[in-house]
Amino acid sequence: MIVPGNNVRLSTRDSREFEGTILPDTNNEKIVIKLQSGYNIGIKKTKIESIKQLPKQMKKAIKKEKIKYNKNLPTVSIIHTGGTIASEVDYDSGAVIARFTPEELMGMFPELKKIANINSFLLSNMWSEDMRFSHYNLMAKAVKKEADKGADGVIITHGTDTMAYTAAALSFALEGLNIPVLIVGAQRSSDRGSSDAFMNLLCAVNYIAKSNFCDVGICLHETSDDKSCLILPATKTKKTHTSRRDAFRPFNAEPIARVYPDGRYENISKHATRQDKKDSKIKVKPFRENIKVAILKAHPNLYATELDNYSKFDGLIIEGTGLGHIAINEIDKHTGENKKIYNSVKSLAKKMPVFMTSQCNNGRINMNVYSTGRKIKESGVIGDHNDMLTETAFIKMAWLLSNYPKPMVHKLMMENLRGEISPRSLEKEFHFFNNNQ
């Protein structure tokens, strides 16, 4: 009876009942079932009073629609890298079955055929946490291929964990981008009643089909309800919550646009329209897969050996405290290590670009306010007055080191190439979400 795929009614010793499908689980002390709501629950066997097997549920077959090209609609290519957007649960095994072909996608989401001609395919199954620079190159080349074939826009479905890194990577790797590229994911899997998968995809297709946006962006829920999605800037956005549907936020920047499920949209940022790029030619400037760039997070009780570990790397991002600080001052008998830290920073800065960001999401680096910052700057660390996110700085440095000589990397890290450094800091950008929730 306790067999994956069986439908059961489970009664516990405290008089609660649960109905659902038994899922595979390696823990012999509990039983995991998928409830009709789509959520999973694990119950210890010692707390179970009885299990009654129920009739097997019949799975609804997805109707595969024959795709008809509509010359009056734009063409959107959907490149899948895995994730939950185009998947359903196999209740016999508890596994997720991917649905990637245009016919399958239209069967799941028939609303899309009224908005655009959909070309959909699997590039490769890539868990976002496992991605390396080589995966960014695969995606960039796939985007160029679809654009060269005449696609009016591209959507990349992607896991949310490192989505912001990928958005920044594609923003740099795709030079002369002349179509919109939106990265879309889901915080809740498609088998849950609270899934955000379809609405995120629907809003992305609508925005590509109806707007003049011509850049890389991210499309995800604006709030935890289903009222709207935001188009977010590729180099200014990060994931801020592990599970909420509105987990992604831009920093030191506004969202690009707000999109509603019915197809309406409101441009928010001046970067929403990039018509000047329409006649440009896309060129892929890839990442060198063996480039080594590290991120060091400044923290109390830091040791110089933590920096020395990166002596054979090509570049280093220091995520400093506040305005861009790291412990370098020997102020009493307890801080002798700090002098060693300063010497390590100075030594690394002679070998490679060392760039400073802040652990604060908003605001700018300013290494001129305190003597600590001035000393760090004198050691060769760059980054003064920038407001880049650590994730973006990491991606940018790796891309620059892949395509330019080191002396130019120092210079270009301080130039705004893809909207990663704000020309000025605006109060409304900091307060946008507080004022709109």
Pick from 396, 397, 326: nearest CA to 359: 326
Instruction: Round to whole Å and give the CA distance between 308 and 288.
Output: 23
DSSP string, 272-313: G--GGGTT---EE-PPPTT--EEEEE--TT--HHHHHTTTTS
DSSP string, 104-151: HHHHH-GGGGGT-EEEEEE-----GGG--HHHHHHHHHHHHHHHHTT-
Selected catalytic residue, list 25, 161, 226, 308: 161
Q: Is 321 a catalytic residue?
A: no
The count of other CB atoms within 10 Å of the CB of residue 299 is 12
How many residues belong to the chain? Answer: 437
Q: Is 160 a catalytic residue?
A: yes
CA angle, residues 333, 339, 345, in degrees to nearest 5:
155
Q: Is 26 a catalytic residue?
A: no
Residue 153 has which token pair? 């826009």
Contact yes or no for 95/76 (Cβ under 8 A): no
Contact yes or no for 216/190 (Cβ under 8 A): no
Q: Is 84 a catalytic residue?
A: yes
Task: Collect all residues with Cβ–Cβ distance below 8 Å to 247 and sequence separation of at least 6.
Answer: 160, 187, 220, 239, 240, 241
Instruction: Round to whole Å and give the CA distance between 15 and 292.
Output: 57
Residue 426 has which token pair? 């605006």
Selected catalytic residue, list 236, 239, 377, 396: 239
Selected catalytic residue, list 21, 160, 162, 166: 160
Selected catalytic residue, list 21, 75, 84, 390: 84
Instruction: Round to whole Å and give the CA distance between 424 and 169.
Output: 23
Q: Give the catalytic positions in this structure.
A: 84, 160-161, 239
